[in-house]
Amino acid sequence: MSAERPSNPQQAWDAMLAGNQRFVTGSLAHPRQDIDHREALAAAQKPFAALFGCSDSRLSAEIIFDVSLGDLFVVRNAGQVIAETILGSLEYAVEVLGVPLIMVLGHDECGAIRATIDSTLGNLQAKGEFIQHIVASIQPTVRAANAKGIHDIDTVTSLHIEDTINDLVSRSKIIREAVEAGKLAIVGANYKLVLGDIHPLVMVGQVS
């Protein structure tokens, strides 16, 4: 990204795309990760985007978007499932930090999506009590997809990203109003593990 902090949804999205393109082509800039930058940031953070993505270790936000310390406000959990703490974190990013973009990032071969598909078939292997919460959060999407004859993980993953964004906008008044005011856009995208590129699926607000 440029030295200027992106200040509107389109600039923020362009910066994310440009950073991902550097990652894909192996021409990383590793912007501003030095000691001076760390010290300059200590007084206040001013990230230009929030990222809500899966915890998968291959989805390291700052690396795959080639951004700096202080650029991204990152919220992640397995399968990027909405919860009250997630909504609160994203509201904080929008209301207090003033980010103009929220990216919701899923990926191919997601273990949480796979576990939910397996669970729907009665084959869930994981025993963790709280893993059930994650599966239960994704299950409505899987069941609705199955009812339409959709079973493949890629399509289910895309539908889950759509449902997640709908949930985000319908449940958070702060986020909904920021989108309506043109101050915030939300982009839902899928990350491909092999090529490292992102594929936008859903765009809400003034961004293209």
Least distance from Zn ion to the Cβ atom of residue 106, Å:
7
Site for Zn ion in 101-130 (CB under 5 A): 110
Bridging pattern class, strands 185-191 and 101-107: parallel
Q: Would you count residue 90 as binding Zn ion (CB under 5 A)?
A: no
> From the CB of 180, what's the least distance to Zn ion, in Å?
31
Shortest distance (Å) from residue 104 CB to Zn ion: 12
Residue 50 beta carbon to Zn ion: minimum distance, rounded to whole angstroms: 18
Among 25-33, 48-56, 69-77, 177-185, the segment contacting Zn ion (CB under 5 A) = 48-56
Q: Is 66 helix (H, G, I), strand (E, B) or coil?
A: coil
Do the Cβ atoms of 10 and 17 come closer than 8 Å? no
Q: What is the amino acid identity at position 192?
A: K
Q: Which is nearer to Zn ion, 49 or 54 (CB)?
A: 54
Is 54 near Zn ion (CB under 5 A)?
yes
Determine the residue type at 119.
S
User: By CB under 5 A, which span of 1-9, 25-33, 54-62, 123-131 interacts with Zn ion?
Assistant: 54-62
Q: Of the candidates 16, 52, 56, 65, which one interacts with Zn ion according to CB under 5 A?
A: 56
Nearest to 113 by CA among 148, 150, 84, 147: 150
Kindly tell me the sign of the dihedral angle through the C-alpha atoms of 69, 41, 13, 145.
positive
Task: Give whichever of 157 and 172 is closer to Zn ion, judged by the CB atom.
Answer: 157
Could you tell me the two tokens for 47?
Answer: 């990230």
Q: Residue 173's closest CA among 112, 80, 98, 90?
A: 90
- Given the rule CB under 5 A, which residues bind Zn ion? 54, 56, 110
